[in-house]
Amino acid sequence: MKKILAFIMMFGLLTGMVPPMEASAATNIAANKTATASSSEDSTKTQDRAVDGNASTRWSSNYSDPQWISVDLGSPNNVSGVKLNWEVAYAKAYQIQVSADNSNWTTVYSTTTGDGGIDHISFAATNARYVRMYGTQRATEYGYSLWDFEVYSDSGPVDTGIISGAVYKLTAQHSGKNLDVAGGSASDGANVQQWTDNGNPQQKWKVIDVGNGFYKLIAQSSGKALDAADPSTADGANVRQWTDNGTATQKWEIMDTGGGYYKLISKSSGKALDVAGGSTADGANVQQWTDNGNAQQRWKFTQATTTSDTTPPTPPTNLKSISKTETSVSLAWTASTDNVGVTGYDIYNGTALAGSSTTTSYTVTGLTANTAYSFTVKAKDAAMNISAASAALSVTTSATSINPGFYINGTTLYDANGKPFVMRGINHAHNWYKGQESVAIPAIAKTGANTVRIVLSDGQQWSKDSLAAIQNLITLCEQNKMVAVVEVHDGTGSDSEAVLNNIANYWIEMKSALIGKEKTVILNIANEWYGTWDGANWAKGYTSVIPKLRNAGIKNTIMVDGAGWGQYPQSIIDYGTQVFNADPLRNTMFSIHMYEYAGGNAATVKSNIDNVLNKNLALVIGEFGIKHTNGDVDEAAIMSYSEQKGVGYLGWSWKGNGTGLEYLDMSNDWAGTSYTEQGNAIINGPNGIKATSKRSSVFEDTSDNQAPTTPANLSATSPTYSTVALTWTGSTDNVGVAGYNIYQNGNLVHISPTTNYTVTGLKANTTYAFTVKAIDAAGNLSAASNAVSIKTSDSNDTTAPTAPAGLVVAPAITTAKLAWTASTDNIGVAGYNIYVNGELQGTSATTSYTASGLAGKTAYTFSVKAFDDAGNESAASNAVEVTTGDPGNIQVIDPGIIDNYTTWYVGINGADKPATPTVAELTYLDNGGLNMSFNLQSENYPSFQVDPAPVANWSNYSNMNLILSNPNAAEVQIQPIVKDGDWKWVELGHYIKVPAKTTMIATVPLTGLTNKDVNRIILRVQGGSGGLAGSLQLHTISFDLEPTAYASTIAEMNRPKTASFYPWNLVESSYTGNESSGLDGETLFVKYKSTISDTIAAGVATETKPGLGIGDDWTKYASVSSTLTNTGTSAIHVSLVVRTGGGWVWQETGGQTAADPTVERIIEPGESVDVVYAFNSPVWKSAKTNWSNHAALENAIDVRGVQFKVYAGTGEAVSAGTLQITNFQLNF
């Protein structure tokens, strides 16, 4: 047992500065003893490194279960404890075993809920010579890995002498400054720093023993805990304060380092509390860092001097209820005062403590409808003096009403009519295929689906979906009598709380699309947020954002994906109830994505479903398919057992999966004219959608189809230059008005529960038009009110923004990338004007811009000016003159240090050079770079590797630069890693994503490499879509290249010069005259039928970026050229079709030849014609030009598709034949 030091203290006694008590340390009897293990990952992670006393070396096993590590103590000892310091690859389930003979083992401790970090384990003293950790279940996809395996002959490591419950100030040894909450903030996320001792509460920390050798530290200024921000194991991860939640990020081991100083080791990372860079300045950041023994990681604990503060705060006043529901009451009050300072408030429901708050508001939850409650509030200070109670406030909760929408009861989802609703539906990847929804959603409805899950973006990774777009999607779903499940995809796989919080903020911004749609819309907050298989921190994120969404007025049923990319159901089993209880409406359900891990076989499927339902939680299978990248999926078991248990399921996905994942498409086209293998299984299977789907009863409810009366007397004023205040006379309804839709220039901008609203964020001196419509609970919408137009006030702003600074220009051949430092403005910068040779070329809302349409081998001068809403323009930035590249003289890439070594080899995940040949192979490129061919289906993590001899020294470098080419049709990722002068594994940032068919330069900061000697260079390769077989080209490893380096060369390498640059497998439904079409080598072909005419066409088509939902940027090119050969016996007409933007706008031209400038291209039998399709020439036609060829190509920055179309002239008969297209390329 841990020894607790007790002190008897007289009331009011000044404790002064109490030195830490001395305590005898328990001895680690495993140090430098002989260790053995079941396996070692490689020669740098052997078992002896877990007992060598060095916290920066580790043992790591092979990637399988079970695994073990054992230590021979040399002779029998009375063993009573161990310490395990886990690396990221920790054990979920393991046993501690002891033995006298290394053959017969006794288990003295076991767990199935390991959470990593540092485990202190005590057990009854047992005489043993051998001690081992026996791992039975890994927590990650990797093996088992320990930094330290220590064995003790008494109860454990050092008794610190720290008094649990006492308040201390912590002083850094190197600076003499205190651990301090910046600004004395009481907010979650407030930064922790060092600051000169000032005696304030933000420098006083209550230290509380939480068991197993760990403590939490509570700031006396806020009542919040010292927290390692995000569960990161990286050096430099920030430390902050956060609401006490009991997670590993708030648990710290306090270890005596001698001389009255201690180090604090985070349980979540094993890293030490550290002052960044050893700074002695006030405000220097506090972070976590590998324990290195330096003075900035050593802290003196001085028990805080206290005065005899016996004065309580004044009682809170003006207690009132600001809102209430059936189950909650929100309270607010006027702040108390105190002679020292108020630290918080306790809220009482009757005589029972309902909760505490550090602000002057609080929401009491868990109440009963239509029930009277009496509330009081008491203030408290740092000395725990408690004020008298406020005046009592009596509040009666709202009466039970008909549910406004979907709700959860136990394991069942009910619709607004109280009928159980079981989802049977399909995912639709809207964000990547905008413009297809009007076809796709009705087609999905025809399958019998009652639900569609819609992929959206908040702008963090992809193009942000607007409020109007979401409202249109919901309306489409309602018109087709399907429930809409909306989700943001940008957080997929992320462990960042900031990313999840950004997504929550997006939903709050878009809440007007959700409020009033509780009957038909379910909010799946974030797709697959939290990629790590860690339930505790997954729950921490969601318990933070769910109340935030509810406080914003969002009442829709919430859906939460499990951790581990949705495939770790244990996170829901262990922590789902905690997440559910964080929802004040208790209206949250959970989603498992059943691919190869969560749904690989019937036993796994049934176990995962049963284990969640047994926790009395509602469940849906939010994604599944017939197989996935790393194995088969038992879709039949998923559907049959879901039907048996009343669990919903949503197949992934309708159409649009990228190269290598096409098997996940359910339809062969957006219109659903035919289904794929997966589509037939999920739609037409015995337990599929058609057989089991039942529509929500809300779509059958016709009891109220009467719209409210029209709002009247809408009026508007502009109280400020950026706002408009609206008021109107209320409507009436046969049942009741639920709210009012506010329309600005025809677009819905808000839903107001009252008859007034102030529109914000407007531009000064600008005219806006507004209307209002009333809506009832059944969704009936009134006619529009009278329209009112109003011009916002003049801001009278005559102050221009400051000039942009630091303009940098990187020219290619026909483009140049610009970047600059932002301007400031007294009201706000609206954008930037970009000038080329003194002429305005374009504008940008951000601090970057790509200038296109330039000529090669030409000098240009660029400058940038900022402007504000009032039209004030700043002075020009610094001018930058550059010369674009010469397309006829492309610079060869210097291979850099690749050329310094002749001993490059393929390593596997950074291990030593294999004794036997690898599947992956290296060959040299013409410039001296390296090409790796690989097959990730049969060999994981092949790496470009070299061991520099002599050891390389990188102390003179700030950044490493890689130029990489990915010739494959799918993304490839590469991670730069080195083993430094101590052979320590150092990851230089995250994986670099190299898009399909792309050459790019990547800049890798070397800030994480503290030991600048390099023993091994490792560039580890993996596929962005899994299971990829292909190649990757490494043209150079260089250092500190200029931003303009090789820009022209890279532009030329990215230019599509062959037809095979694109896949040419897009099915264009309008080409009904096709016999067949496609790509044969580098020749495109169209075999057309004799039925083609002036209205019936044939053709061949491609997407430019399949599966990504974005287009190719053709602004850097001037034209497409190709050779057209008619091998048929009749003359044919041929045109090029370019599809642009999210709406796939059709633009078409016949192109021009050297001899014929007309744009109707007729190819005679046996004729070959070289055709050029110039983008800037007025030869294109579209619906916008009324199909007349007189415009340039528009929106070339977003080319989604390319097609060659074959047709006949008016009244002409054509025999079947073949068009061949050769020499396809884009040209500068």
Q: Residue-wise over 445-467: b if at least 16 C-beta within 10 A, else e?
A: bebbbbbbbbbbbbebebebbeb
Q: Which residues, at least 6 apart from 662, have a Cβ–Cβ distance to it below 8 Å? A: none
d(CA 462, CA 88): 30
Q: In the chain, which residues have pLDDT < 70? A: 1-26, 154-160, 212, 230-231, 305-308, 382-383, 399-403, 629-630, 658-660, 701-703, 777-779, 990, 1024-1027, 1107-1109
The pair phi, psi for residue 479, each rounded to 5°, is -60, -30
3-state secondary structure of 409: strand
The DSSP H or E segment spanning 831 is strand 829-836
Query: 3-class SS at 551?
Result: helix
Phi and psi for 222 in degrees, rounded to 5?
A: -135, -20
Are 656 and 642 part of one and the same domain?
A: yes
- Degrees (nearest 5) of the Cα angle 401, 405, 411? 100
Q: What is the DSSP letter of 868?
A: E
- Residue at 67 is within a domain: yes
In terms of domains, do 643 and 683 share one?
yes
Same domain assignment for residues 201 and 329: no
Q: Which of 909, 1035, 1008 is nearest to 954 (CA)?
A: 1008
Examine the domain organization and report whether 779 and 819 are in the same domain: no
Residues of the domain holding 76: 34-153
Q: Per residue in 898-931, is it b (16+ CB within 10 Å) or e — as a string?
A: beeeeebebbbbbbeeeeeebebebeebebebbb
Q: Is 1189 found in the same domain as 1078?
A: yes
How many domains in the chain? 8
Q: Is 967 helix (H, G, I), strand (E, B) or coil?
A: coil
Among 1054, 1088, 1117, residue at a domain's last position: 1054
**592 and 682 co-located in one domain:** yes
Say if strands 451-456 and 424-428 run parallel, antiparallel, or are unpaired: parallel
Spell out the alpha helix ranges (H) of 480-568. 497-509, 535-551
Separation between Cα atoms, residue 1028 and residue 936, nearest integer Å: 5
Measured between alpha carbons, how far is 101 from 605 in angstroms, rounded to an integer?
42
Answer yes or no: do 993 and 1026 share one domain: yes
- Which of 406, 402, 346, 396 is CA-nearest to residue 372? 396
* One domain, residues 772 and 731: yes
Same domain (yes/no): 582, 662:
yes
pLDDT on residue 157: 40
Do both 859 and 829 map to the same domain?
A: yes
- Would 694 be classed as within a structural domain? yes
- DSSP string for residues in 444-482: HHHTT-SEEEEEE--SSSSPPPPHHHHHHHHHHHHHTT-
Kind plus residue range of the DSSP H or E element containing 602:
helix 602-613
Rounded Cα gap, residues 558 and 413, in angstroms: 11
Three-state DSSP class for 927? Answer: coil
CA angle 1086–1087–1090, rounded 5-degree value: 125
Cis peptide upstream of residue 66 (ω within 30 degrees of 0): yes
Per the residue annotation, which of 253, 487, 518, 623 is the catalytic one? 623
Q: Provide the CA 1213 distance to its chain's centre, in angstroms.
A: 56
Selected catalytic residue, list 87, 437, 518, 528: 528
Phi (first) and psi of residue 302, to 5 degrees: -115, 120
Six token digits for residue 798: 């005559």
Last residue in a domain, options 276, 303, 330: 303
Question: What pLDDT does residue 767 have?
Answer: 93
Q: Which residues pair with 85 in a beta bridge?
A: 118, 148
Per-position DSSP letters for 1079-1147, written without gaps between them: EETTEEEEEE-TT--SS--EEEEEESSTTTS--B--TT--EEEEEEEE-SSS-EEEEEEEEETTTTEEE
Residue 411 lies in a domain: no
β pairing state of 412-414 and 372-381: unpaired
Pairing of strands 214-219, 205-211: antiparallel
Is 311 within a domain? no
Peptide bond into 950 cis (omega under 30): yes
- Do 580 and 680 belong to one domain? yes
User: What CATH number is given to the structural domain containing 677?
Assistant: 3.20.20.80
As a 3-state breakdown, the chain gives helix, strand, coil percent values, each rounded to 5, of 10, 40, 50
481 closest CA partner among 446, 514, 457, 516: 446
The owner of tokens 């070329």 is 841
Q: Which of 671, 699, 727 is the last residue of a domain?
A: 699
Is the whole model's pTM more than 0.85, yes or no?
Answer: no
Q: At what angle do helices 635-645 and 677-684 cross, to 10 degrees?
A: 20
Sequence-distant (≥ 6) Cβ neighbours of residue 457 within 8 angstroms: 431, 463, 464, 465, 488, 489, 490
620, 663 Cβ separation under 8 angstroms: no
**Which CATH number belongs to the domain containing residue 824 in this structure?**
2.60.40.10
Domain presence at residue 542: yes
Q: Is 973 exposed, middle or buried (0-12, 13-18, 19+ CB in 10 A)?
A: middle
Neighbours of 675 (CB within 10 A): 17
Length of the chain equals 1228
* Domain containing residue 1132: CATH number: 2.60.120.260
Residue 1071: inside a domain, yes or no? yes
pLDDT of residue 476: 87
- Residues 977 and 1089 grouped into a single domain: no
Identify whether 623 is a catalytic site residue: yes
CA dihedral of 910, 911, 913, 918, whole degrees rounded to 10: -80
DSSP 799: P
- If one counts every other C-beta atom within 10 angstroms of the C-beta of residue 336, the result is 22
CB 939 within 8 A of CB 919: yes
Q: Residue 23 region, left (φ>0) first, then alpha (ψ -120 to 50), else beta? A: beta
Asked, for residue 309, whether it belongs to a domain, the answer is no
Task: Look at residue 410 and tell me if it is in a domain.
Answer: no
Burial 585-600 (b: 16+ CB within 10 A, else e): bebbbbbbbbbbbbbb
Q: What's the angle, vertex CA 705, arms to CA 702 and CA 708, rounded to 5?
A: 155
Fill in the DSSP letter of residue 86: E
Distance CA 670, CA 440 (A): 5
What beta strand segments (E) does 335-488 contain?
342-349, 352-357, 361-364, 372-381, 393-396, 407-409, 412-414, 424-428, 451-456, 483-488
- N- to C-terminal Cα distance for the chain? 76
The secondary structure element, H or E, covering residue 611 is helix 602-613
